[in-house]
Structure 1
Amino acid sequence: MTGRYTRGVARALALVIALTTPLAAQDLGSVRLGAPLPEDLPDPIGQEVQGPFAYALWRRPDGTAMSVTSDARTGSTLYIEIWNAEGGPRPAPLPGLSFGQTTQADLVARFGSEGIVFAGRGRAAALDERAAIFTTYEIEGSSAVLSFVSLMPLAQASPDTAGQARLDAVILAHGPYLDTIWGANRGRLEGYRPIPDPFAD
């Protein structure tokens, strides 16, 4: 069990790096990156442990779903993903963004660039009849990474139309953990710089 848009883990050395680097402390869906799961969180609908990681999945009353990956030994949260489980427009877990309405072009305008690209993930992927466009940013002053997944019909997808893809998922994760699953090399696209913490008060 993993998040909707993540995939399996990598080498043991990279895992050691991921689990020993100081963690960031941002919140998504009432879960804090780098902290154990809140005690008042409802029971997950699915959970399992694979090697050094624990995975849990929730369906949320607002029509979204949430997946969390934690360090199985310490309980520290490494990865949080919330996606639009029921389709249609609905608020995303970051002020000013809406699932099914906010476009990839809106994200670029808000955050100032197309972001970064992890070597093992790329900028886009085909998911059945849809194209998933990944827009990802490092959060300045922390190890956290914020990533957005936007969808559009695969038949309409091209570099010229990618900005029309609509937001489907928000991911907040510990950067060194992402290095183990998405590839350690991060390409910076033109005009990129880390973004100010969008979760700061």
Structure 2
Amino acid sequence: MGKYTFDNEIMPDKFEESYENLIEDLNEYLLLEQGKLGTEFSIDDSITELFYSIEKNLVETGQNKNSQIIRRYLSQPTDVNFVTFNYTDTVEKTMGYKKFIVNKDGNEVLVNLQNPIHVHGRLNSSMVLGVNDETQFKSEIFDNDFPEFFVKNKNLTDHVNSTELELALEVIDSSDIIFLFGGISWRHRQSILGKNS
């Protein structure tokens, strides 16, 4: 979207209207897709499988020290937090139980699933969609208010989703173990979280 503003003669008002329409259309489409979600997949099952497989996979790749660290943390009551950039309620829908027991090496481990944190907003509520910074679009042709919505960092820190971002950062900072699902570049991580680490 940002590149389009450099490559074409555009009218800022028309672009802003199209941007708003895009968010509305994306919202409607994702609501339809979200409605197709069945019950055949369970986050509980995936977490249970993770408890059983992570140490084995680390040992097989020669990461014995990391395996021991993981074993220590995953052998005690565990809170599982979710930070998602997905607009849908897929994570919520695939949670079978908020608390469940994993039987690990003969020990029963209590797992508490926490409510997901939606950093980029949710369907029908504060969806964040845009560019990473003002160099990625022809900012000089737009009024001063437009970047608040179109630049993700401004939207996340100064606008409607600042609370979700703060919660996500607290969870990340206080976590002992972090698993990432999906691809994310280092530069993109920094722009999303606003951190230098």
Normalising by structure 1, report the TM-score. 0.27
Structure with bigger strand share is 1
| Higher alpha-carbon Rg | 2
Structure with bigger helix share is 2
Higher relative contact order (CA 8 A, sep 6+): 1
